[in-house]
Amino acid sequence: MPKAQNNPTASQNLSAGSEFWAGVREEVPLIFGVAPFGLVFGVLGIESGLSPWQTILMSSILFGGASQIVFAQLWAAGVPALIVGGSVCVINLRHVLYSASIAAYLRHLPLRWRILLGYLLTDEAYAISIRRLQHEPPGPNQHFHLLGSGMLLWVSWQFATIFGVLVGGTIPDSWSLSFAIPLTFIAVVAPILKTRADLAAVITAGTIAIIGQPLPWNSWLIIAAIGGILAGWLVSRLNHQAGATS
Amino acid sequence: MIWFIMIATGLFTFATRFIMLSNGISNRPPLWLVDALGFVPIAVLTAIIVPAILVDPADQTIALWDNPRLFAAALAIIAALVTRQMITTIGVGLVALWILQWAM
């Protein structure tokens, strides 16, 4: 399919195939982070007492790494369903931002396309395809770029989960593989901390998460998350005001 | 029950991704909401990271000095800041933990 050897800077009318494969190619480096993450989820899902089918299908139904990990951990801890659901929902609220930022490029598409691309709109696919949409000349097939990045991510996530489910039982506890989860999140969070508001969010969320440990049903997670969001938001507001008045 | 929650949260998650692509909603979300949502990943992930490092999985107590995970995580944070690569960060943290568990 990718026979077209178009020069991307010269042509604005890339074929659907070249847009699609460009999305796939540009997504590849991110797979090195996503694959171990999916593997860990597969292992953890089984350890948490989910059945293999529940673990594997969760990767299609939720299709959001952090929220799946939290789902499995809270479920294993015997947390009431409402708290599990609420925690997962708060974690996934961030997608509204991606959806808002990419809407201008996709809204003219037929409904079935918007449903498909909405389903594929993960952190990693968004990060890659928004660059093409914002910084390269628009084209009639530009949505195929998101289809490519999103589908590579989806396929990798499913395979990594299945692999984790299959090998999970054979990995000894002494490897402390579940420690890969906080490490994965450290790799996401540490490089994006830039402002004082970000730091306020981190310190508040971390402190509440520790102080709140005795709270029932692991509800410290959702309380710490909301506390961190509020703290970051308040500090950024104060900074804006200070900047506006000084 | 687990299937019900999985499907309900799955539908909610899809809604968060699709909502602004739907024709029913023509406006961008208000700026204060965009600002607040920008802190969701940092806050949520920190709330997962910190107890995973500090709370001892064996007895659920908070461990500081006698805690190999804390030192491994500190090295991983440095690796994340320097390399900005997920695979390196995970590798540094896990290897550090293995060495520390073996040594301590």
- Taking each helix axis from N to C terminus, what angle separates B2-18 and A81-92, rounded to the nearest 10 degrees? 20
Does residue A5 carry a pLDDT above 70?
no
DSSP for chain B, please give it. Answer: -HHHHHHHHHHHHHHHHHGGGSTT--SPPPHHHHHHHTTHHHHHHHHHHHHHHHB-TTT--B-STT-HHHHHHHHHHHHHHHH--HHHHHHHHHHHHHHHHHH-
pLDDT at A16: 95
pLDDT at B26: 64
* A34: Cβ contacts below 8 Å, ≥ 6 apart: A65, A124, A153, A156, A157, A160
Q: Can you give the residue ranges of every domain in chain B?
A: 2-103
pLDDT at A245: 55
3-state secondary structure of A133: helix
Neighbours of A173 (CB within 10 A): 8
The model's confidence at residue B99, banded by pLDDT at 50, 70 and 90, is: very high
pLDDT at A132: 93
A76 touches chain B (CB under 8 A): no
pLDDT at A242: 78
Choice between B60 and B88, residue whose per-residue pLDDT is larger: B88
Q: Tell me, what DSSP letter sits at residue A127?
A: H
Looking at A210-219, A237-246, B19-28, which range is the least confident one? A237-246
Q: Hey, which bits of A65-196 come out as E strands? A: none
Residue carrying structure tokens 């999103």: A150
The CA distances from residue A88 to A99, A193, B2, in Å, are 18, 23, 13
pLDDT tens string B32-45:
888 898 898 899 99
- Taking each helix axis from N to C terminus, what angle separates A180-189 and B86-103, rounded to the nearest 10 degrees? 140
Q: Do B35 and A236 touch (CB under 8 A)?
A: yes
Averaged pLDDT for residues B67-76? 95
- Optimal mutation site among A111, A183, A218, interface B, most CBs of chain B within 10 A: A183
pLDDT tens string A66-110:
899 989 988 988 889 999 999 999 889 989 988 988 998 998 999
Structure token pair of residue A178: 């579940």
pLDDT at A4: 46
The CA distances from residue A200 to A8, A107, A227, A243, in Å, are 42, 36, 10, 18
- Optimal mutation site among B49, B64, B99, interface A, most CBs of chain A within 10 A: B49
Which residue is closest to A233 within chain B, CA to CA? B36
Residue B92, Cβ density class (10 Å: 0-12 exposed, 13-18 middle, ≥19 buried): buried
Structure token pair of residue B24: 């029913």
Name the phi and psi angles at A172, rounded to 5.
-65, 150
Q: Do A67 and B13 touch (CB under 8 A)?
A: yes
Q: Do A205 and B42 touch (CB under 8 A)?
A: yes
ipTM value: 0.89
Measured between alpha carbons, how far is A65 from A84 in angstroms, rounded to an integer?
15
Residue A9, Cβ density class (10 Å: 0-12 exposed, 13-18 middle, ≥19 buried): exposed
Residues 100-119 of A with CB under 8 A from B: 100, 102-103, 106-107, 114-115, 117-119
pLDDT tens string A36-73:
889 989 998 998 889 999 999 999 999 998 899 989 98
Residue carrying structure tokens 């999916």: A38
Measured between alpha carbons, how far is A154 from B28 in angstroms, rounded to an integer?
27
Q: Which residues of B fall within a CB distance of 8 Å from A121?
A: 17-18
